Amino acid sequence: MKAVVQRVLSASVTVEGNKISSIGPGFLTLLGVAKGDTEVQLQKLITKIAALRVFPDADGKMNLSLKDIGGEHLLVSQFTLLGDASKGNRPSFIGAEAPALAEPLYNRALELSRTAGLPTQGGAFGADMKIDLINDGPVTLILEV
């Protein structure tokens, strides 16, 4: 399982010209589910995201978590994070989980994020999404579980 977590001032997802979700300050997380990933790994990942201390405190140090600042979470499924372009120029996605198995884990990620106390929005699994964001910092982390 791989996630790209970006600190944002705002972010939104549009599908077929309709904005389906948007957040203010917080995290935009792109989530890639690999073959064989489990809910145990997902729980570890969401717990880590909720606790990441990358927001500035009163002294300007990255010392506060998403929960500490009352931030929001936009969680978007992105199988291309599992792409392997090490051979040739066309990525292989054989490491990505099949949609029938990945979608339930993505939906569970949304639930776990909300259960962790984070106001959470999502994308549309398998859809052609347009994502607008204003990076903050920029602060971007790649997490693998």
- Residues with catalytic annotation? 78-80
Nearest to 12 by CA among 129, 101, 106: 129
* DSSP code for 76: E
Burial letters for 45-82: b for 16+ Cβ neighbours within 10 Å, e otherwise? bbeebbebebbeeeeeeeebebeeeebbbbbbbbbebb
